[in-house]
Amino acid sequence: MPHYACMIQEGQMAHRKQEDLARGLRRIGQETFGDDPVETEIAWVVLKQGYAWTAGEPSTSSIVVRSVPVGLPLPEREAFMRRVCDLWEQETGCSIQEIVVTAWDGPLPL
What average pLDDT does this structure show over 92-101? Answer: 95
- Between CA 52 and CA 70 the distance in angstroms is 31
**Mean pLDDT to the nearest integer, 92-107:** 94
pLDDT of 79 strictly over 90: yes
61 in Cβ contact with 96 (< 8 Å) = no
Q: Spell out the residues 6+ positions from residue 55 whose beta carbon is closer than 8 angstroms to its own.
A: none
pLDDT digits (tens, 9 = 90+) for 44-73: 999 999 899 888 988 999 999 999 999 999
Mean pLDDT in residue range 38-44: 95
| Mean pLDDT, the chain, whole residue set | 94
Three-state DSSP state, 65? strand
All domains in the chain, ordered by first residue: 3-105 (3.30.429.10)
Confidence of residue 108 (pLDDT cuts 50, 70, 90): confident
